[in-house]
Amino acid sequence: MYDNDFDDENPELDAFRPPSKSQRKREATALQDLGEQLVKLTPTQLRRIPLPEELLAAVQMAQSISQRGGRKRQLQFIGKLMRQIDDPEPIRSALMALLAPRHLS
């Protein structure tokens, strides 16, 4: 029998495994969904989100596209740009803070 370094009984080795294809797809879909949320923002709200210039331009372009097919392609491009960002968490956090319901005391 061969000694399998990646057996399911050794959780310490999980850190060395690359993410599964399903996990990568889930992450890509989540980033594309985040991009779609950005497209729904008003220009004033969009200025409050820390976006790289290229991504901001792509979001603004998507906001101006009314054709369904073209808009869908632009949203996919936004997803691609989102995947190239090293850490999308500041964008996600700023969006959640912006969209969070405000409680008046």
Q: Please state which of the ranges 1-5, 40-44, 100-104 shows the lowest mean pLDDT.
A: 1-5
CA dihedral 18, 25, 91, 37 (to 10 degrees): -170
pLDDT tens for residues 42-90? 999 999 999 999 999 999 999 999 999 999 999 999 999 999 999 999 9
Say if CB 37 and CB 76 are below 8 A apart: no
5, amino acid identity: D
Please state the pTM of the whole predicted model. Answer: 0.76
Query: Using CB atoms within 10 A of its CB, is residue 8 exposed (0-12), middle (13-18) or buried (19+)?
Result: exposed
Tell me how far CA of residue 57 lies from CA of 3, 11, 28, 69, 95, in angstroms: 52, 43, 20, 19, 17
State how far the Cα of 11 lies from the Cα of 3, in Å rounded to an integer.
Answer: 16
